[in-house]
Chain A
Amino acid sequence: MKVLSSPVGRSAIAAAAFFVVLVVGALAYTSTGGSARDLLVQELLVNLVIVLGLQVFIGTTGILSFGHLAFAQIAAYGAALVAIPAASKATSLPDLPLGLGDVELGPFGATLVGIAVALLCGAFVGVAVARAGGLAATMITLAVLFVVDQAVKNWTELTRGAGGLSGVPRMTTDTWLWVTALGALLVANLFAETRLGRFAAATRDDEIAAPAIGIDHFWPRWAAWIVSIALVGAAGALRVQLVGSTNPEQYTLDIGVLLLAMLVIGGMRTVTGAFVGTLVITVGNEIFRQLGDDHGIVRLPELFLGAVLLAVMLIRPGGLLGDTDVRAWLSRLSRRRIPAAAASERAGDDGATPPRAPGDLAATGISVRFGGFRALEDAAVRVRPGEIVGLIGPNGAGKTTMFNVVTGIVPEQAGEVTLGEHDLTDDPPHRIARAGLARTFQNLRLFPTLPVRENVALAALSARRYRPQAPAVDVDVLLESSGLTGVAERPAATLDYGNQRRLELARAAALAPAYLLLDEPTSGMSDQESRAMVDHVRATARLVGAGVLVIDHDLAFITRICDHVVVLAEGRVLAEGTPAEVRADPAVAEAYLGRRESRAFLQSDRPL
């Protein structure tokens, strides 16, 4: 069981399991037929390595790429150009630039050169893709596919154009391909366990929540891109040496869509899904090709592909297997061994951390305009270490905008945000989170496909990495105190509303922040639940030693929990003070209730 608790061990076991399936399947299949069957196995392995490459980038980051095949092509041509014997290059490619005509490398060297060239080109493109994200990134990859296609077709001195290169010395056995397939299975499984791999999955699940726990979009995406290009490049460089030739027809958008279909049909978010999808589509494609040949129907495989893809998208858009994954299952298996009592015991020993913020959290003179609308006008709010401050006001008063300004999501036109001596005014969201501000969102922003535990663990991981001065937060203790231990392995999206709220709070707390910013933690809760939330928020803040700035419409909740209350109305600070002072303020009552109602209210003893 010790093997299972290490990421390398888990990944190795998962990779080995897939590999055994492949070997047994291939042996059973080829033992009964001729050399044509060997070719199909070869094709399957090449596809598998490419699809695993796609999984590492597309699956973990959620950014669709059409450009990966271009890098397989670059690697293939790179490997071919250094592998073709000099004598044959002298006649077939007389005008080779860069002195390539005299280079002659063995299969190993040629493969490495191919991968290296792909990585070199890919590193630059990766910067653009990782920075852009979303649809723009997809368009960049599409552009790359066409640029490389055009270059290969027209830079004839190097590529011989549409005819392609031939005469590449052929590998006599598939050994290297098998080794590469095993390596790719291991790399893809392992990447999902690495810090950057896990962070990449967080950016995929919620682009705004990830920076809110200190994750920068760029590096996880770029790392995923580089690893995936290396895998895809290896497949390209090997294929050209197995087949002996290459041409632009092997790397068109159509082929790209075929490979993409393999990725999504099984379930793109997991290696298991990519593996199963590759098997299903490669085998199905072959069956329908033969059927088509037998009955004289062209393009039958294409019909099969379109129909399967359409059916899966309509019926199971997450793929046939969804998020079922061998490695994730192994990981759960290893955790089940930890006695359940451990966490609660650990929670028992005091738990409280003294407030250790580097100073006050202060937003001063904040002004924000959306077009002609003044969301905030010279507004200010201050929280002292360990203090709980409420931010209240009628709808549209600018409360959430204030949060968004403080956490760097909305730019302010004037004012500044400081944490102790540290000026956060112009920092991007992930830096603000790393400085020690963690927030929740009005509309809940969890990482929906990730397990509850992983939602919290990601923030703890980010804290360990980017907030070394902060106290270590025990994920299990947080889950236990939030009442989430029982559902820790379920995807966050499957929780009920109250649990989702508590999970979001636990995730923010796991960052061990100096201040927690909570946007309507009791929204949608019953009176009873909201009363329980008072203690829960207090306990959680005390556990990590954080001060709290909280927005809520439930004024009973605010009165119970807050040391100090700031009232916003129409973008300005209307009043502030203790809950009792604020309640007695005629201006506040009027803003909430209107002039006539407010007079009666002030004479009564009703809570606001």
Chain B
Amino acid sequence: MAPQRISTGIAGLDRLLRGGYIKGRTYLLTGESGTGKTIACLQFLLSALLMGEKAVYVTVDERPVEILESAESFAWDLQRHIQEKNLIILDASPYFGGRGSGEKGVDPQKIVADLGNYARKLGATTLIIDPLTPLILPTDPNTAAHDQARSLIQLIQSQLNTTTIFTSHWVEGTNASSTSDIEQFLASGVLILRTVAINGQHERSMTIKKMRGTATEPADYRFVIRHGEGIVLLDRLGAKAGDSCAEPPIFEFFDPAKKDS
């Protein structure tokens, strides 16, 4: 039986992913700051809410009100979903004794237990953690970050049963970061967002690096961020012209002025 999928909310991506993310799986969005990770999270969030899912959004670096403001800047209304009790935005910074207070690690058991309480109260089926990176700093200096990441992700998968999106910081060219490896290894799908220079022009690109259960070729796609629409995939980088990701319009508007053409 074909797995149930939830639209990613990103125009052009669903078609490549045969309908969207697979329900109940874990996905990783990674990229440097400013590449569009939070926007991609918000697009998925709205798509899930539209499908009647309930969602928990965990923010670490930004305050919940800043997430609402980012959404508003795209004309996306999250307030309504919060009022209708379909969405809660959790601020995870208290785990770190307040923002910017440093590098104290957090116990994954405790995080998942706390998250689980909120998720169950709401009946959440969708979880977004943006970003995951601060939550996987080890509590104990003898534990490697990737062990911390593994136990956190596995606890979430076994206890919450949500469709989960993580973001993580990715620094181009540094493969030394063991955490991003383990996150990628544990996630069912990995999307990498970057800004690349092509002929002196800066372009945004999305790499579908891994997508379990979905026949996709690993490839880079050019995208733009538009008001009201968010991320929109345009075409495959290095592809011949006309090989566009844009879907044909579902509805053609009948314009009598053009009816003879």
Q: Please say whether chains A and B are actual partners in one complex.
A: no
On A, residues with C-beta under 8 Å from B are none
Q: Which residues of B contact A (CB under 8 A)?
A: none
